[in-house]
Amino acid sequence: MKRLVWTLLALGFVSVAARADDDAAIYGPDIPADAAFVRVIDALGTPDLAVTVDGTAASTGLSGATGYTVVTSGEIEITSGENVAVVPVTAGTVYSIAVSGVAGAVPTVFEDAIAEDPSKATIALYNLSGEPVSIAALAERVTVIEPVAAEASALRAVNAVVIDLYLEGSAATIENFPQFALQAKTIASFFVFGDSVTVRVTNSVERTQS
């Protein structure tokens, strides 16, 4: 099996327009109608990539991903390392955009489907490796997210529970997460990177403040 590195990031939504709490940032009434949500993933899985999202500075930190930032719909500019990319975003849509910081590289844009029910949690799997990966639960390996192909993603709304989760490769379990807490109004994001021997795990709710 190709050597993989995964990063787990459980993120609340963020707003740079106001110091909104986690509920208001995505479910509250104070987000403009023409707003979109954008976060940036370091596609190479290296930590602390400095980026700007439509002029707002951010960093992927140790987790490999920024928090979500509220932007105005239309074309936004994302800079990372030697790369500058213009990405169109649509109002009311949530995006995870993978960049490498390499000049001329085209970012990979994932559109995130968010649970409409605020009592639910969302599990997201982003596959930036070269082989299919999936997520299962419990010792019986009940499928939570079906195998996701390379350079693709999948999301699923689930109950907010504490449960054993397993990140599965094509031939074996990559990693297990015993008693993982799935939180309401939160995305538990699994990022799978290839060609690395480093494993980083972050399980936190983040919020960017203006």
Give tens-digit pLDDT for 67-82. 888 999 999 999 999 9
Whether 72 contacts 17, CB under 8 Å? no
CA geometry: angle 60, 63, 66, nearest 5 deg: 35
Report the pLDDT value the prediction gives residue 12, as an integer from 0 to 100: 46
Is 29 a residue whose pLDDT tops 80? Answer: no
Alpha-carbon distance values, 139 to 102, 117, 177 (Å): 41, 28, 11
Place of tokens 């930590």: 47
The sign of the CA dihedral 65, 151, 102, 3 is positive
Do 163 and 179 contact (CB within 8 A), yes or no? yes
The model's pTM: 0.79
Q: Is residue 108 a contact partner of residue 151, using CB atoms and an 8 Å limit?
A: yes
Q: Which residue has the tokens 């192909």?
A: 149
Report residue 41 CA to chain centroid gap. 7
pLDDT for the residue 199: 34
At 70, list the tokens.
């509220």
Domain extent listing, the chain: 4-201
**Residue scoring higher pLDDT (28 or 113):** 113
User: Coil, strand, or helix at residue 22?
Assistant: helix
Q: 5: burial class by Cβ within 10 Å (0-12, 13-18, 19+)? A: buried
Q: What is the predicted pLDDT for the residue at 124? A: 87
pLDDT at site 188? 85
Highest mean pLDDT, choosing among 27-31, 55-59, 194-198: 55-59
pLDDT of residue 32: 82
Q: Angle at CA 6, nearest 5°, toward 37 and 106?
A: 50
